Amino acid sequence: MQTRKSSQVPEIDEDRDLELENIVGNLMIAQYQVDKLRSRLSERVGGYGSANNKKGSAHIFKHNDKWYKVTVRVDEMAISQRDISEDIK
């Protein structure tokens, strides 16, 4: 049985920059991860992802004989687009 090409596509030599393609691919993956994390964070702060609705977290660790405590607190805010543009200036 013979197969027949429905459309003839000419072969074109293209110069490809693999490093650029990798950078763009990594950027797309990073943007997806940022979007996913923002979604999870907003659900957590809004109370959908947690029964206890904690809006903060603390982590204590020791390094080179010194103790450190890192505390993160997240608050939901209501701001207008005008407030955002003023902060950028």
Residue with more model confidence, 6 or 23 = 23
pLDDT in tens, 42-66: 887 776 555 556 677 888 999 999 9
Structure tokens at 84: 């955002």
Q: What is the 3-state composition of the chain as percent helix, strand, coil, each rounded to the nearest 5?
A: 40, 20, 40
Report the C-alpha dihedral over residues 34, 36, 41, 44, rounded to 10 degrees: -170
Q: Name the H helices within 1-89.
A: 18-46, 81-88
Percent of the chain, pLDDT > 90? 36
User: What predicted TM-score, i.e. pTM, was given to this entire model?
Assistant: 0.49
Distance CA 28, CA 36 (A): 12
